[in-house]
Amino acid sequence: MFFFRKKRGVSQNKQSSESSPDLKYIPSSKKEMEMVIKSVLQDDTDLVIKSLQHPGKELTLFYFSTLTDRKIIQKSILSVLQNLQAPSPSLEEIEASLPIGEVQVTESLDQVIQTLHNGWTLLHIEGKTNALLINTFGMKERGLTTPENESHVFGPQVSFNESLATNTGLIRKYIASPKLHNENLEVGKITRTKVSMLYIEGVASEQNVNTLRQRITELELDQLIDSSMLVQLIEDNSMSVFPQMMLTERPDRVSAFLLEGKLAVLVDGSPYAIVCPSTFIEFFQTSEDYYVRWNMATFVRMLRMIAMFLSIFFTPVYVASLTFHYEVIPSALLVPLAQSRAKVPFPPLFEALLLELIIEFLREAGARLPTKVGQTMGIVGGIVIGQAAVQAGFTSNILIIIVALGALSSFTTPSYMMGTTIRIIRFPMILLAGIWGGFGIMFGFCFLLIHLLRQSSLGSPYLEPFYPIRLRDLQNSVVRMPFPFFSKRMVLTRAEDKGKFNAKRAKQKKDIDE
Amino acid sequence: MKRRIGAAGLSLFISATLVITGCAQQKILDKMGLSVVIGYDRVDKDRLLGTNVLHQFDPMASESVQIVASTAYTSKGTRDKSNLEMAKKAVSGQLRVTLYSEQLAKEGIINLVDTLARDPTIGARVFLAISKGRAHDILKHRYPEFGNIGTYMYQTISQNIEGESMISPTLHDFMHDYSSVGRDTILPYLEQRGKEGNELVISGAALFQQDRMVGVIPTKEVFYVKLLRDRFQAGSIEISIPREVLGKYMKVSQKKRGNDPIFLVLDTLSSSSTFKLVDKNRPQINTEIKITGRLQEVSEVVDLSKPEIIHKIEKAISQAMMNEGNKVIAKLQKLETDPIGFGEIYRSSVRHSNLTRDKWYEMYRDAKLNLKVEMTLVRTGVIE
């Protein structure tokens, strides 16, 4: 970000209050109240103002019909109010008679306006300067579905949806502990999006909690739609291609991370949770790694690492060896390689870039098209373009295999963000290979390595546990050791409570017949 | 401030990328003529004939190799001249074999080998070989049974090295032997045989005194050189023992066949050798070789289940190998070539020997080199 800099904790703009000082409090008369509300909300057509003539007092309800549950208002408020026996009921009496849990008494007009937008209903009583706020929120939300981007064969099959309350509930279901803290924050001057910061008290490092809270609350921002936007704003280095905080749609994964001492951030309206601090290697892990046996998990993790290196280096190595280092081609491979290249009119660099571009076109088109069309296009397009390109002498057979393999391996990365990153850094690598050969590849690799070494995630080193070396975290990096090895929490999170369980006792097996 | 340096660095990087791009010299595979084998012959007093066997990748071409020959005063000179008749630039990064004619090798080949060793594109595992007759004729010939003479020759040599019937003739080995005192090079000796010369055979090994070829030994004798020079891990040999050894155990009908020797084939041979310098003034080196192997085939019906017969055979083989080996050593001594490396043994056993080549050849000629062989038959095969 050369031009736009994040401002963290430097200056806090004056809170621009829309209501003038004399309108800070709720007016006692109904007419005045109606005027005030209408002037603030202009003429919103979905604002409902319903008056009830009650012996003694006039009761008025204000709510947004689009945000509230009609049934609650009818059954739990209107019918109760109509059946009120007391001649002039006090606020407290009404509150007591309403069969609704979340009811607040307020005097502040600001709070009224805000809560109305959150789906609450205002009950105004003629002649009183305080009013009742009743939670009648009732929006249709998407049902809980299986995770689409982080799908697993094994393990829980539920993902977050767009409702903050549901998402928090999903996590609470996994961690039924009073230690799970849920801090409510607000981001965006206009949108005033609700953001929840979750952590386990006594486990998560207090310094991390404070840092993250500061980063979120001091954001200078007018709008926040999704957590994927928030993550870009609170990351340590927004300029890097590498994601430094994890986005996940799996509540089980978030819970497991919270128990390691990490922090999670949920944003209202977003089905993705932000988890931090995260390390590079964690983007190549899945929660399924813990659900299958440790040896399988280790195998799969190593597979993913191989796939990552293949994906980044396979095509560049092809380009480099064909452009500069024909000496290194094994003699058994030389003849088929050269024969398939014989008809190609381009130098290897352009040939490779062309084919990589085709693959990226196909992928992007596949992602944008409606599901049913997309699949057909992906398969048929791949085969047709691949076959035709070879037959027309555009590219060589071997390069098609290499590029396809590279694309395939980039999709084995469990994190979508990281997968995209890997596909992107392949292009400069190919260019370097085409310009400087093996030297260029080495240069690119060193550049990436140095870059990665300099990154951090919420202040924690990004390349941990490889650098700095942390033996305890290495047990859960490329390999996944059996559970008795995980008796302590990650070093990375600098957890307040480092121990999970007593390793010695865990290893004792007490069978009944002993 | 930090950011500004980053921007400056980035622009510097981009401009450098654009400017330095021209510095790396491209060698795109399909624009190169890749030599597989290069053969050298002596044309006249100081001119060389270089024969280049190149891969032909054009799918439209009827031949899988292209052969280009030209004469010049140096090996690289022939390559430059060859380029004049080629569509692609001849490069030697995929060179597998260099072939020198016997005539050329007798004059010494270090000039030609040295240039290979100093070329960074040529690996140290390039094979060197000597051809009987002109290398050009061997390479130029159209062999009906195989398409690519280059890869065929390479595979023939490498297959025989892996099968342990030939001594490794890589560029690395040559340079090592050339520069060490008391050890000489030995290279495969190729010749054309058969009707119209349609077969390519490794018929023996060329012996060298430093870089100068001094003689040839047949493949059968190469076994003994290899036995003394390296060690066997999975070799095989056909050997003969006199008939009398097993006479006692033979039927009358078998005895009637006269005095033809019995032939045995041994395989999965493994050997180890110990050398001992007994006398350093008039060099005497005693060599003890222990061989184990499997008896694979016998040309007579013999009952192999009897331990005494096996024992007799073992003794006979040891004796036969000892005789043959001593004969080969005597031959090498006569030719004043030391491919086994007795000189190195001498040099490593005698302190401050200040051994030079000339000194060693003089001592070598009448050194006493005794060979003792101890053969053990480990297995005789599976009997159902």
A260: closest CA among A241, A285, A237, A236? A285
Residue B357's CB: how many other CB atoms inside 10 A? 16
Task: Quickly list H helices, A437-501.
Answer: 438-454, 471-474
CA distance B274 to A195: 81
B7/A435 CB distance under 8 A: no
pLDDT of residue A185: 93
Contact between chains at A331 and B94 (C-beta distance less than 8 A): yes
Domain presence at residue A224: yes
Contact, A494 vs A207, CB < 8 A?
A: yes
Nearest CA of chain B to the CA of A304: how many Å? Answer: 32
Shortest distance, CA B111 to any CA of chain A (angstroms): 23
The bridge status of strand B212-218 relative to strand B199-209 is: antiparallel
More confidently predicted of B250 and B122: B122
- Closest C-alpha among A152, A181, A323, A319 to residue A252: A152
A188 and A242 together in one domain: yes
Measured between CB atoms, does A472 come within 8 Å of chain B?
Answer: no
On whether both A33 and A176 belong to a single domain, the answer is no
Q: Is residue A389 part of a domain?
A: yes
Question: Which pLDDT value is given to residue B22?
Answer: 65
Q: How many domains does chain A have?
A: 3
How many residues can be counted in chain A? 514
- A474 within some domain: no
Identify the residue among A317, A331, A398 best suited for mutation to test binding to B, counting B beta carbons within 10 A and taking the highest: A331
Helical segments of A392-415, H only:
397-410
- Indicate if A380 and A270 belong to the same structural domain: no
Of A324, A329, A343, the CB nearest to B26: A324
| From the candidate CATH numbers 3.40.50.920, 3.30.300.210, 3.90.1300.10, 2.70.70.10, the one assigned to the domain spanning B231-379 | 3.30.300.210
Task: State pLDDT tens for residues B352-376.
Answer: 888 898 889 989 988 999 999 999 9
Could you report the average pLDDT of every consecutive run of 10 residues in chain A (514 residues)?
45 42 74 84 81 79 89 87 76 84 86 87 85 87 90 92 94 94 92 93 94 93 93 93 95 95 95 95 94 95 95 95 92 88 89 90 83 70 73 85 90 92 94 92 95 94 92 92 90 89 76 65
For every residue of B343-360, DSSP letters joined together read HHHHHHHSTT----HHHH
Average pLDDT taken over every residue of chain B: 89
Q: How many CB pairs under 8 A join A and B?
A: 66
Domain contains A318: yes
* H helix and E strand count, chain A: 19, 12
CA distance A72 to A492: 47
Cβ–Cβ below 8 Å for B29 and A339: no
Rounded CA separation B33/B68 (Å): 11
Q: Tell me if A492 is assigned to some domain.
A: no
- Tell me what ipTM this predicted complex has: 0.83
Going by the DSSP 8-state scheme, the letter that residue A271 receives in this structure is: S
Q: Which of A174-188, A405-419, B16-30, B188-202 has the lowest mean pLDDT?
A: B16-30
Find how far residue A194's CA is from the centre of its chain. Answer: 15
Return the pLDDT at A23.
66
Instruction: Dihedral sign for Cα A257, A258, A259, A260, please.
Output: positive
Pairing relation of β-strands A246-248 and B235-241?
Answer: unpaired
Identify the residue among A319, A321, A326 best suited for mutation to test binding to B, counting B beta carbons within 10 A and taking the highest.
Answer: A326
Are the Cβ atoms of B30 and A337 closer than 8 angstroms?
no
Using DSSP's 3-state secondary structure scheme, residue B185 falls into: coil
* C-alpha pair distances (Å), B112 with each of A338, B107, B132: 29, 11, 18
Same domain, A444 and A315: yes
- Cis status, amide bond into A468, omega within 30 of 0: yes
A contacts of B57 (beta carbons < 8 Å): 335, 338-339, 341-342
Interchain CB distance below 8 Å, B29 and A342: no
- Report chain A residues whose CB lies below 8 A from the CB of B30: 338, 341-342, 344
Token pair recorded at residue B9: 């660095």
Q: Indicate the residue of A322, A327, A341 with minimum beta-carbon distance to B93.
A: A327
- Residues of chain B with a CB closer than 8 angstroms to some CB in chain A: 3, 7, 17, 21, 24-30, 32, 34, 55, 57-59, 91, 93-94, 96, 121, 123, 151, 154
Nearest CA distance, B140 vs chain A (angstrom)? 21
Is B94 in contact with A323 (Cβ distance < 8 A)? no
Q: What DSSP string runs through A189-219?
A: TTT-EEEEEEEETTTS-HHHHHHHHHHHHT-
Tell me what pLDDT residue B170 has: 95
Which of A318, A319, A328, A334 is the best residue to mutate to test the B interface, defined by the most B CB atoms within 10 Å of its own CB?
A334
Question: Can you spell out the DSSP letters for B37-86?
Answer: EEEEEE-SSS-EEEEEEEE---TT-S-SEEEEEEEESSHHHHHHHHHTT-
Distance from the Cα of A2 to chain B's closest Cα (Å) equals: 7
Segments in B63-148 forming alpha helices (H): 75-83, 102-107, 110-117, 135-140
Give Cβ neighbours of residue A480 (< 8 Å, ≥ 6 apart). A285, A289, A290, A294, A297, A298, A301
Query: Which three-class secondary structure string do you get for B186-227?
Result: EEEEEEEECHHHCEEEEEEEEEEECCEEEEEEEHHHHHHHHH
Q: Are residues A256 and A371 in the same domain?
A: no
Residues A25, A124: Cα–Cα separation, whole Å? 13
Task: Write the burial class of residue A495 (CB in 10 Å: 0-12 exposed, 13-18 middle, 19+ buried).
Answer: buried
Cβ distance A329 to B24 less than 8 Å, yes or no, reads: no
Which of A432, A435, A446 is best to mutate for the B interface (most B CBs within 10 A)?
A: A435
Range of the domain at A249: 164-278
Contacts B37 to A, Cβ<8 Å: none
Within-domain flag for A498: no
Does one domain contain both A83 and A172? Answer: no
Q: Which of A323, A339, A344 sits opposite B26 (nearest CB)?
A: A323
A326 vs B: CB within 8 A: yes
Q: Please indicate, yes or no, if residue A372 is contained in any of the structural domains.
A: yes
Torsion angle, alpha carbons of A226, A230, A235, A239, to 10: 80
Residue A287 lies in a domain: no
The residue extents of the domains of chain B are 27-219, 231-379
Q: How far is CA A432 from CA A409, A427, A438, B23, B29, in A?
A: 21, 9, 9, 13, 18
Task: Give dist(CA B169, CA B185) in Å, integer.
Answer: 8
Interface test with A, best of B3, B26, B88 (most A CBs within 10 A): B26
